[in-house]
Amino acid sequence: MAANANGGAARALVRVLREHGPVTTREAVAIAIASIAFALVFCAPLVRHVSTQSAFNDWDEVLGYEWSAYWSVAHYHQLPVWNPFLCGGMPLLGSPNAHFLTPLFVLTLIFGPATGLHLDVIALCAIGWAGGCVLGRLLEMRRIAAIGTATAFAGSSWFFLHASEGHFVFMSLAYLPWIVAAAWTASAPGKLRYAAACGALIALTFFEGGPYPALFAALAVTLLLLFRAALEPNAYSLIALAVSGAFAAGFGR
C-alpha cells in the first residue's frame, strides 16, 4: 500500500512540475540531478562510511528493528508483522520504530540493514532538497531563491543531528515541502486531484516515521489551507483540506 501511495503521489507531483508556470520539464530534470548531487556532497560522511554498523545512542535499536524486518522478508519470505527476536516477541507492524512500510525499504533488502539505513538518509536528503526547490518555484520564487529555500531546509542540522542519534522517526519530515506543494496546488480551482497526492504523502510519513511526523504534516497543511481560505473568498481550500484528510486516512489504514 505504501509503494502504491508513493507511486501515485510521485506521478501526481510530476504533473505539478509540468503544469505549473515557471517549472519546466528541463528544470524538473535539473532539480532531480542537483538534489542527488547535493545529497551526496552534504552527506559525504555517510557516503564514506556507508556500510559502517553504528551501535551508539538509538542506532542499535533502529538497526535491530530493521534487521528483524530484513530477516523476515529475505530469509522467511513473509511480511514482517512480528519481531520474534526482541523480549520474547513483540509486534513489528505496530511499532513506531518499524521502518519497512516504505519504498525506501528496498535499499535495505538490496544492501542490508546498516547500508540501507545510511542510503535512506541520503535519499531523504535529496527528496527534501528537491521538494524545497519545487515548492519555491511553485510559489513563483526566482531560481536562486528556490535553491536557497531547498538548501536551508534539506541542509538543516535538525535532520542530521536526529539521524546521528538514530532518531529515524523524524526523518520522514523530509517529505514536508512536497506535502505543502501538493496541498497548495490542490486548493487552486480545478486542481483538486492533487489532494490525493497530499494525503498519500502524509500517509507515507506515518508509515516511515510513526504518528509524530504525520501529525506535524497534517497540522502544517491545515494551517496553510485555513489561512488561504481566510484570504480568498472561495471554498477551494476547505474542500482541498477535507479531501486531503480523507485520502491520508484512507491510505494510512
pLDDT in tens, the chain (253 residues): 444 544 554 454 445 444 444 567 888 889 999 999 999 998 888 888 777 766 667 788 888 888 888 988 988 888 888 888 878 788 887 777 778 888 899 999 999 888 888 899 999 999 999 999 999 999 888 889 999 999 999 998 888 888 888 888 888 899 999 999 999 999 888 888 999 999 999 999 988 877 888 999 999 999 999 999 888 878 889 999 999 999 998 887 6
Residue span of the structural domain in which 43 resides: 2-252
SS3 call for 188: coil
SS3 call for 62: helix
Beta bridge partners of 82: 91
Predicted TM-score of the model (pTM):
0.84
pLDDT at 9: 47
Number of domains in the chain: 1
- Angle subtended at Cα 109 by Cα 249 and Cα 166, rounded to the nearest 5 degrees: 70
pLDDT at 58: 77
pLDDT at 135: 93
The helix (run of H) or strand (run of E) holding residue 233 is none
pLDDT at 18: 47
3-state helix/strand/coil string of 123-185:
HHHHHHHHHHHHHHHHCCCCHHHHHHHHHHHHCCHHHHHHHHHCCHHHHHHHHHHHHHHHHHH
CA dist 204 and 199 (Å) reads 9
- Ramachandran angles phi, psi of 57, nearest 5°: 50, -125
